[in-house]
């Protein structure tokens, strides 16, 4: 019979072994954040972000950005596939076997002139990283570095998606068509926001970003002298009535609890003060938080434009521009992954720094991934710092990234992936196909 002393030692040894096994299979989000905040690590991400910012590239033109990503992956010893969807890159860290979890960052810039005067201002006239995608790439590369450092502990495979053409080009859909998310069980995406302080993240289950599309209409009448309107068919009057009537779709046809938007942001017609033009072109965007509402809104926009123009004796044609700018579906977050996100983020940042955000009417082509992968989740990373003066929103020529936020995005992205693999390693079928790239 064993003595009480040996029994006590055996119990203690078993407890220590259990703790060690638990710690080896479960990542430490706070530790990942501490690693990402180390000066050498953080400075490396800042350098990447600034190089990308100085050389912004539009959708499907991200050749230098893609090359930079591949150089960094090569330096880390991470395997990847390129090109995907023209300039996209798909990297792989882990066992090369299921489960597969993906992390995504978009790479493209905007066709706008930067108005922020600083050392690393855009060097390309008329192009700017005004939506933070330069920071997204730096954060995903930071996550890749963390993942590669703990690759021997990964219980599956992390797929790193560096995506082109988020800004209206449907780059996510093209990556899906190229097989980038084949066998992927879950995917995470993020976006920086000036609305949240540094160290705070936010999201929600269910719809988080709206489905979105564009429209353009040409309203044709009969031009003539402004002093003789009775001899004309005035398309400006018709177009003005169209704009007003389109707003009634929201105020009088949409459920007030079902968020929808119609915005006419383009109105072009005529060039002289005393001449009524032959035609007017209007254009805008429409958005909704459900597939059904989006489809209904599209139908009614065309009906209203044609019918209201005809009331003023004009003809109208409508183009939804979906060949050049594909409709973006609603981005819907998995409820299971919301619980996962909350748990991991709270471990890293504390419960007060993880908040629920209401849906926003901006569109996001991460929605294509959400529709193609069994579970998807999209969240926001705060970059606000009141000590730095006014904070400008994305798509503003004065938008600026607070680079102190980079470690938070990198560490959280990595933590979400590692924890997902550790908690789902037994749920993936053992006979699932391994990616050909691996």
Query: DSSP string of 141-197?
Result: HHHHHHHHHTGGG-SSEEEEEEE---SSS-HHHHHHHTTTTTTEEEEEEEEEEEEEE
The confidence band for 333, taking pLDDT boundaries of 50, 70 and 90, is very high
pLDDT at 337 over 60: yes
The confidence band for 325, taking pLDDT boundaries of 50, 70 and 90, is confident
Mean pLDDT, rounded, for 397-402: 96
pLDDT in the model for residue 388: 74
Domains contained in the chain, CATH given: 26-209+330-424 (3.40.630.10), 211-319 (3.30.70.360)
pLDDT in the model for residue 28: 87
Q: Report strand pairing: 331-333 vs 206-209.
A: antiparallel
Reported as type and span, the H/E element at residue 20 is helix 4-25
pLDDT in the model for residue 426: 55
pLDDT in the model for residue 198: 96
Mean pLDDT, rounded, for 181-199: 97
Mean pLDDT, rounded, for 65-77: 98
* Helix, strand, or coil (residue 268): strand
Q: What is the mean pLDDT of the chain?
A: 92
Longest dimension (CA), the chain: 114
Nearest-10 crossing angle of helices 406-424, 335-349: 130
Q: For residues 367 and 402, give the distance between their C-alpha atoms in angstroms, rounded to a whole number.
A: 26
Q: Does the annotation place 314 within a ligand binding site?
A: no
**Residue 358 Cα distances to 24, 210, 289, 292, angstroms:** 36, 11, 12, 20
pLDDT in the model for residue 26: 56
pLDDT tens per residue across span 284-302: 999 999 999 999 999 999 9
pLDDT in the model for residue 168: 87
pLDDT at 25 over 50: no
pLDDT tens per residue across span 103-123: 999 999 999 999 999 999 999
pLDDT at 1 over 90: no
pLDDT tens per residue across span 26-48: 568 999 999 999 999 999 999 99
The residue ranking higher by pLDDT, 19 or 174, is 174
Mean pLDDT, rounded, for 239-265: 96
The confidence band for 51, taking pLDDT boundaries of 50, 70 and 90, is very high
pLDDT at 431 over 60: no
Mean pLDDT, rounded, for 71-82: 98
Q: Does the annotation place 131 within a ligand binding site?
A: yes
* Among 396, 371, 370, 232, residue whose Cα is nearest residue 314: 232
Q: For residues 230 and 78, give the distance between their C-alpha atoms in angstroms, rounded to a whole number.
A: 72
pLDDT at 57 over 60: yes
The confidence band for 347, taking pLDDT boundaries of 50, 70 and 90, is very high
């Amino acid at each position: 019979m064993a003595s009480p002393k040996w029994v006590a030692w055996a119990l203690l040894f078993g407890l220590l072994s259990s703790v060690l096994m638990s710690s080896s299979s479960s990542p430490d989000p706070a530790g990942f954040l501490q690693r990402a905040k180390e000066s050498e690590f953080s400075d490396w991400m800042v350098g990447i972000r600034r190089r990308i910012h100085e050389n912004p590239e539009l959708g499907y033109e991200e050749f230098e950005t893609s090359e930079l990503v591949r150089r960094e992956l090569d330096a880390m010893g991470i395997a990847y596939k390129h090109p995907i969807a023209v300039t996209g890159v798909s990297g792989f860290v882990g066992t090369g076997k299921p489960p597969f979890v993906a992390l995504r960052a978009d790479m493209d810039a905007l066709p706008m002139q930067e108005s922020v005067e600083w050392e690393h201002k855009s060097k390309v006239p008329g192009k700017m990283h005004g939506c933070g995608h330069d920071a997204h790439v730096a954060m995903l590369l930071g996550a890749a570095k963390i993942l590669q450092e703990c690759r021997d502990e990964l219980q599956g495979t992390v797929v790193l998606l560096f995506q082109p053409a988020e800004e209206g080009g449907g780059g996510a859909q093209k990556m899906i068509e190229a097989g980038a998310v084949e066998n992927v069980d879950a995917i995470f995406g993020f976006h920086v926001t000036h609305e949240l302080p540094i160290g705070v993240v936010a999201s929600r289950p269910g719809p988080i970003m709206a489905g979105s599309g564009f429209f353009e209409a040409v309203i044709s009448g009969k031009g003539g002298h402004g002093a003789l309107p009775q001899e004309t068919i005035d398309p400006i009057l018709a177009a003005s009535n169209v704009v007003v009537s389109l707003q009634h779709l929201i105020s009088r046809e949409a459920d007030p609890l079902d968020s929808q938007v119609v915005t006419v942001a383009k109105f072009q017609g005529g060039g002289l003060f005393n001449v009524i033009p032959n035609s007017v072109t209007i254009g805008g965007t429409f958005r909704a938080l459900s597939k059904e509402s989006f489809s209904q809104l599209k139908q009614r926009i065309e009906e209203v434009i044609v019918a209201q123009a005809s009331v003023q004796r004009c003809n109208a044609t409508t183009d939804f521009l979906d060949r050049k700018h594909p409709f973006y579906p609603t981005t819907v977050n998995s409820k299971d992954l919301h619980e996962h996100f909350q748990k991991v983020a709270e471990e890293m940042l504390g419960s007060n720094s993880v908040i629920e955000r209401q849906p926003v009417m901006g569109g996001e082509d991460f929605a294509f991934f959400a529709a193609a992968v069994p579970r998807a989740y999209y969240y926001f990373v705060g970059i606000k710092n009141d000590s730095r003066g006014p904070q400008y929103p994305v798509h503003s020529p004065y938008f600026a990234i607070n680079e102190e936020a980079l470690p938070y995005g990198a560490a959280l992205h990595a933590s979400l992936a590692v924890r997902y693999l550790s908690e789902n390693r037994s749920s993936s079928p053992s006979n699932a196909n391994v990616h050909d790239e691996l």
